DNA sequence: TAAACGTTTTTTCTGTATAATAAACAATAT
DNA sequence: ATATTGTTTATTATACAGAAAAAACGTTTA
């Protein structure tokens, strides 16, 4: 049976929305709420019914008004608002990156399903999507093998990343003056400087800036395969840094400075400097990642 | 429930194997058969039981002998030997490439399932894997959208293909004399010349040679992401040419000649000539594909 | 008369069930 | 002893079911 995470998240969001409204204020229409909450009208109605049930709003038909502010206890816990697919992804990445699963480990759908508390269908779906990340392989009728988050993996990943990034950076440099991307690049440069100024307090904000920077570079000449590859990088880095916080502030400060060099070279349209800065930045990113890979080797235990 | 396509294929293969044996000859052991047929011993035993049932072999325990040759009617039809997943793939590619599905078409799991005669699970599994091909996109809780086999798609595909191929060709050229790949390259060259000599009769053999050629080039410095990308190319070309036979002989002859130029340049270690030949070859391959793409445009009808 | 609501239909998501297959283990024969 | 077969167990592939969510359709109200 489907989970009701969509409803629960929408409900929590609706509580926030109600909190921003004065008492006795009337609510937006169902279709307006549907757009605001990003769910269908069907779900909006379910949310509204629940809000009424709990006395947060009252009314009927097209006259809903805010009745009272909800108690914090009314919110659904965060865990119940995340869809199964996302939970499986998270748990799997955790198993892989944090528990340092050994290369060669065979993945057992049933066991993972039990371990993650979901049905095998959910595991299967995830593994099928995840296959394109190059970390697992399918043996038909037999199962899956984890190839390991190895040095080799990181090197292959960065080889492609460098090819793609250099290619995009080169096309960026020759973009006509009229391109709106130049302005976006300048804004991004400012954001980097803002962040650097407050680095001690805001260093975790870097990841988001990083991924916006690299997608802006790619926007110079969009290619769906490059974008798809960046999705892989984004997911891997996201989870990787989630469990690998040493030196985060220091690392991010270095990366911001590298970005600034890179950004300045782009803004000067200096192709050679762009290439050098890009290479240098990727080199240090690669080294960071390499520090936490496992060595390729014979199969370890089971999943 | 699982289909028994593995058993049926193994059974057909076993018939071929028996046909190559004289009457009264004893059969290989179960484990030997398991290796030869590429299935587990469990399936081998099922095959053996069926063969006995039909009077093709007789005996018991470890003494099986060929009793008679099977009638052609004993074979299972080919359609029953292909797993659901492969059937879904084939039917979907057909829908997409042959029926020229319009860009923007929304894909309905239930409808495809009915149309293909499989359960929705099978469709879902395929779509999840197929997502990385860049032709479809998922809208959570809503469904899938087909982005179209458009000119844009072909151009983006070939941009990456060219980057990857040039990179591999460049590393190939500087491979040490001692590398075994040089010998394989020479063998491949000979095979090209053989095929060219008999082109009128054997022109369909080119695809297989083509994919072996490109994977040999990639073998110069293996990278899983490049290999994964070639899987995409291989699948697309495989189905594309299956329903697009015009000029096949002529096209393949041209491609073989291009390969030969490319091969010769590699064998001479002439980097510039390699690059030129590679570019030229990919250019004509791209043009062939472009001829059969559809134009990007607004959504058509439903799936 | 168009936006908002009420109702019905369709479709996705995800759990459960089961045959087919693989794999592990035990027994037997050469 | 070791390869081969017999038996049992574990796991995957795939169908099916049912609730959640979306979408379509119809009705009402301002």
Of the CA atoms within 13 Å of residue B151, those in its CB half-sphere come to: 5
CB of A301 lies under 7 Å from some atom of strand C = no
Whether the CB of B41 is less than 7 Å away from nucleic strand D comes out as yes
Q: Are B163 and A159 an interchain contact pair (Cβ–Cβ within 8 Å)?
A: no
pLDDT confidence of residue B296 = 63
Provide CATH code, domain B5-79.
Answer: 1.10.10.10
Pairing of strands A57-60, A106-107: unpaired
User: What is the pLDDT, as a whole number, of residue A68?
Assistant: 86
Query: Which residue in B83, B134, B226 is closest to A228 by CB distance?
Result: B134
Chain B hits for A83, Cβ within 8 Å: 140
pLDDT at A60 over 80: no
**pLDDT above 80 for A207:** yes
* B124 contacts in chain A (CB < 8 Å): 125
Domain with CATH 1.10.10.10 in chain B: 5-79, 83-146
pLDDT for the residue B156: 98
Q: Answer yes or no: is A128 CB < 7 A from strand C.
A: no
- DSSP-H helix ranges across B132-205: 151-173, 180-197, 199-202
Q: Which of residues 29-88 of A touch strand C (CB under 7 A)?
A: 29-32, 41-42, 45, 60-62, 64, 83-85
Give residue A198's pLDDT. Answer: 95
pLDDT > 90? residue B139? yes
Rounded CA–C1' distance between A14 and C8, in angstroms: 26
pLDDT at B212: 95
**CATH placement of domain B83-146:** 1.10.10.10
Average pLDDT, chain A: 93
Distance from CA of B137 to the nearest CA of A (A): 11
Name the region of A179 (left: φ>0; alpha: ψ -120 to 50; beta: rest): beta
Burial B54-74 (b: 16+ CB within 10 A, else e): bebbeeeeeebebbeebeeee
Residue B167's pLDDT is what?
98
pLDDT at A164 over 50: yes
Share of chain A above pLDDT 70, in %: 97
Q: What is the pLDDT of residue A296?
A: 62
In DSSP terms, which residues pair with A226 in a beta bridge?
Answer: none
Contact B129 A134 (CB under 8 A): no
- A141 CA to C17 C1', in Å? 19
B258 strand C contact, CB < 7 Å: no
Positions of strand D less than 7 angstroms from a protein CB: 3-8, 11-24, 29-30
User: Which chain B residue shows the shortest CA-CA distance from A133?
Assistant: B225
Q: Mean per-residue pLDDT for A142-167?
A: 97
Backbone angles phi, psi at A107, to 5 degrees: -95, 125
B139: the nucleotide nearest its CA (via C1') is: C12
Out of B21-30, B52-61, B206-215, which region has the weakest mean confidence (pLDDT)? B52-61
pLDDT of residue A303: 40
Verify whether the Cβ–Cβ distance A153 to B6 is below 8 Å: no
Q: Is the pLDDT of residue A301 over 50?
A: no
Chain B: closest CA distance from residue A14 (Å): 20
What does the block give as tokens for B84? Answer: 């659901």
How close, in Å, is residue B69 to chain A by CA atoms? Answer: 31
Opening angle at CA A89, ends B139 and B108, nearest 5: 25
- Taking an 8 Å cut-off on Cβ atoms, the answer to whether A132 and B229 are in contact is no
Q: Which residues of B touch A137 (CB under 8 A)?
A: none
**Which tokens belong to B240?**
């594309």
Maximum average pLDDT range among A232-236, A240-244, B61-65, B245-249: A232-236
Q: What is the pLDDT of residues A70-90, one digit of tens each?
A: 888 899 999 999 999 999 999
pLDDT of A113 > 90? The answer is yes
Q: Which nucleotide is nearest to A125 (CA to C1')?
A: C14
Model confidence over B263-279: pLDDT tens digits? 999 999 999 999 999 99
φ/ψ of residue B66, rounded to 5: -70, 125
Radius of gyration for the alpha carbons in chain A, expressed in angstroms and rounded: 24
- B19: distance to nearest CA of chain A, Å? 28
Name the band, by pLDDT with cuts 50, 70 and 90, for residue A299: very low
Please, are residues B166 and B157 in contact by the beta-carbon 8 Å criterion? no
Domain B151-290, CATH number (from 1.20.120.530, 1.50.10.20, 3.40.50.720, 1.10.10.10)? 1.20.120.530
CATH number listed for the domain at residues A84-146: 1.10.10.10
* Mean of the per-residue pLDDT values of chain B: 93
Mutate to test the interface with B, among A2, A42, A126, A128 (most CBs of B within 10 A): A128
């Amino acid at each position: 049976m489907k989970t009701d995470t969509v409803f629960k998240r929408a409900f929590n969001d609706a509580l926030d929305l109600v909190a921003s409204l004065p008492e006795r204020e009337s609510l937006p229409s169902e279709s307006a709420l549907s757009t605001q909450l990003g769910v269908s009208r069907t779900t909006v109605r379910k949310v509204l019914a629940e809000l009424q049930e709990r006395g947060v709003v009252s009314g009927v038909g097209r006259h809903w008004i805010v009745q009272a502010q909800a108690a914090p206890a009314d919110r659904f816990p965060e865990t119940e608002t995340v869809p199964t697919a996302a939970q499986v992804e998270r748990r799997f990445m955790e198993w892989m990156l944090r528990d340092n699963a050994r290369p060669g480990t065979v993945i057992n759908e049933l066991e993972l399903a039990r371990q993650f508390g979901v049905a095998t269908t959910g595991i299967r779906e995830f593994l099928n999507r995840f296959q394109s990340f190059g970390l697992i392989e399918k043996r038909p009728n037999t199962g899956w093998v984890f190839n390991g988050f190895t040095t080799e993996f990181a090197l292959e990943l960065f080889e492609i990343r460098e090819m793609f990034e250099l290619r995009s950076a080169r096309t960026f440099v020759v973009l006509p003056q009229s391109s709106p991307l130049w302005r976006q690049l300048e804004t991004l440069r400012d954001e980097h400087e803002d962040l650097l100024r407050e680095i001690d307090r805001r260093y975790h904000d870097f990841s988001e800036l990083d991924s916006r920077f690299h997608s802006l570079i790619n926007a110079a000449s969009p290619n769906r395969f490059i974008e798809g590859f960046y999705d892989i990088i984004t997911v891997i880095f996201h989870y990787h840094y989630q469990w690998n916080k040493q030196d985060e502030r220091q690392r991010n400060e270095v990366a911001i400075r590298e970005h600034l060099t890179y950004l300045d070279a782009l803004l000067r349209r200096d192709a050679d400097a762009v290439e050098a800065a890009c290479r240098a930045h990727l080199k240090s990113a690669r080294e960071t990642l390499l520090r936490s890979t496992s060595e390729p080797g014979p199969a370890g235990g089971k999943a």
